[in-house]
Structure 1
Amino acid sequence: MKTLREVATRGVTEARARIFGHVLNPTGQRSGHKILRKKLIGDKVADWYPHDFKKDDPVVMARLEKARLSKLQMLKRRGKAPPKKGQGRRAMKRSK
């Protein structure tokens, strides 16, 4: 009698899950369904920050790039520029 009741309850539970779109979890284990069901907030976060209009203007970007290159050239003359790719501290440690 008990097994018949369990089978009937399980059938009703499965039907209810199918009809109402619920997630069936008969084992009761934790799942990420609650988190995955929530709406993503990426657009909200992106809209929070104002648009950087400097990136749209090529004159401004050219000026910034020119300033960056001149600073890098000054550092190279003083010997303080960053090393070329693959010739840094880690590469020197590895080659020993």
Structure 2
Amino acid sequence: MATTMVGSLRRVLSAAAVRGAAEARAAIFGHVLNPSGKRSAHKILRKKLIGWKVAQWYPYDIKNDDPRVLAREEKERLAKLEMLKRRGKGPPKKGQGRRAVKRNK
């Protein structure tokens, strides 16, 4: 009878040690401990949020409403386009693009 008590005590202690090691591993590496093996929503919650949920985290972009910022960006865009045109790298005139040239061959 004493041997069965010692055996069961050993099993309990080894199970406790394994459980403690698993808990420590989960705490260190940020894993979720699920000893019962039941289904949980952790897999779903681990995924990236999409759509309006993500949009809620970002503040409203005020520069879209500021006419001075929009004017400055438009001015920068036109300046860059003018620079590209001077170098011959700008967009072609209407009807003279790559598709039109390809069609005429």
TM superposition score category, shorter chain reference: 0.3 to 0.5
TM-score calculated relative to the size of structure 2: 0.44
